[in-house]
Amino acid sequence: MINKNEILSKVDHTFLKQTATWNDIRKLCDDAIRYNTASVCIPPSFVKKAKEYVNEKMKVCTVIGFPNGYNTTDVKVFETSNAIQNGADEIDMVINIGMLKEKEYDAILNEINEIKKACGDKILKVIIETCLLTEEEKIKMCDIVSNSNADFIKTSTGFSTAGATIEDIKLFKKHIKNDKKIKAAGGISSFEDAERFIEEGASRLGTSRLVKIEKSNEQTL
C-alpha cells in the first residue's frame, strides 16, 4: 500500500474552472503547500500572481491550448513563452486532435517540439484527450510523444466526455518509450483510485479531490 503522503507528492493540485477567482487560486496554493503536492495546476491568467505568492515553496503548472487544442501552433508557443515569463514551472499542452484524426503526425510532433523549445528546461506534458481517441490513435500518440522532446504524456483535460482510465494507463505503459512519464487526469476521486493509477505506471495525477478528502478527514478527527 502506498503512503498517502507519497500519493499527494505526485498530485498536480488542480483548479481550472471557468469561474476561478484569485481567492480560489490562493486557497489552492495554501493547500498544495500544506500537503506537499507536486504542483498547483491553474489557468494562465493567474500564473504571475500565484508564483509571486508561493515563490519557491510550490511549483506552478499551467495549461496551453486548453481545453480544445485547436489554437494555431504560433498561439500555443506564445502562450507558453508568456506563461514561462510569468513564472510557470510546468506546462500542460493540448494537442490538435483534428490533426491526429487526419494523420498529420509530423505537424503534431513539430508543435510539441516548438512548445518544448519555448519551455526551455521546464517540464512539458502533452494532453492527448484519450476519451476522444481510438486505441490506434492513443498508440500513435505514445509513439509521437516518445519521439518528441516532451517529458510526459497526459490522458485528459477533465473538460471532455471522460477522464483517465486504468486501461489507458496500461496502454501508455506498454507503448511509451525513451523514459517519458505518464500523467493521469480527470475522474481520480479517491486514494484507492490514485494508488491503482500509480501502480499501473502514472507518476503524476491531475486532481483536486485528494487534498479535499485529506482535509475533510482531518476535520472529522
Active site residues: 92, 154, 183
> If we measure between CA atoms, which residue out of 177, 188, 186, 189 comes closest to residue 150?
177
Cβ neighbour number for residue 137 with a 10 Å cutoff: 17
- Residues 6+ positions from 128 with CB-CB distance below 8 Å: 95, 97, 100, 138, 141, 145, 153, 154, 155
Strands 59-64 and 90-94 come out as parallel
Grid coordinates representing 219 are 476535520
Quote the crossing angle between the two packed helices 47-54 and 22-35, to the nearest 10°. Answer: 40
For residues 168 and 183, is the Cβ–Cβ distance under 8 A?
no
Cβ neighbour number for residue 166 with a 10 Å cutoff: 15
For residues 82 and 57, is the Cβ–Cβ distance under 8 A?
no
Q: What span, in angstroms and rounded, lies between the C-alpha atoms of 25 and 7?
A: 22
Residue with cell 506498454: 174
Cα–Cα distances in angstroms (integers) from residue 25 to residues 10, 48, 157, in the given order: 19, 12, 18
For residues 202 and 11, is the Cβ–Cβ distance under 8 A?
no
